[in-house]
Structure 1
Amino acid sequence: MRNRSHNVMVRMDDEEYNQFCTNVKESGQTKQAYVTNAVLHVPVMPKEELEEVQKISQLMADENRQLRGMAVNLNQMTKRLHTFGEIPQIKELHGLEQMLQKMREESERPWQLIRLLLSRQKATAD
């Protein structure tokens, strides 16, 4: 657990405070988490956007899992076919495997960025 030993007092007029409270409510965070995120330059997003990003992250994770399974299956088929020499189109299988690997690599970076964003939101929302 963090040791937060410093207290900060900020003065606001009614309009600023009302806007602050609105922003905190929309974010779904506590006032402390909202201010801490802002100070640390962590993007503070409304609760609905955060939920949408979480859904996208889950979809990308599922897609990544499916691609990994397809690549494993394709690799197993390739090895078996290569071992027994049953099908002459082994180059096509290797091409498919490379295409799947490329798709997986292309989706990996955005997925990592989304997970990083979500982990920062969760870590500072405590």
Structure 2
Amino acid sequence: MSSKALLAACALMTVAAISGAAAKSNLRQQAGVASWYGPGFHGRKTANGERFSTHALTAAHRNLPFGTQVRVTNNTNGRSVVVRINDRGLYVGGRVIDLSNAAARAIGVSGLAKVSLARL
């Protein structure tokens, strides 16, 4: 490998490492719209294989690892709840998290709400 090719490869690896670190840090805090899913999914398997319960404090997120604990705060009323990520989803654009019915009720969400997420 020529020195120019080696230098270019090192530069690309550095950019990739910095981009990866930035992506991970962005997942520490996030803001956007939350929705909830409930009765029609109760008892069905989630993406991690467990059965979905509308009564559990769980949520779906596009890319956080299963089992991740996230504090979800309703920006309108300041109420927050800690949920565990156990599903994938959010196939509707512009949403950052899909809450179980119990989690949504805990923070006063009955439809859509602007929320802030903090990975714990």
* TM superposition score normalised by structure 2: 0.31
Rg comparison, structure with higher value: 1
* TM superposition score normalised by structure 1: 0.30
- Larger % of helix: which? 1
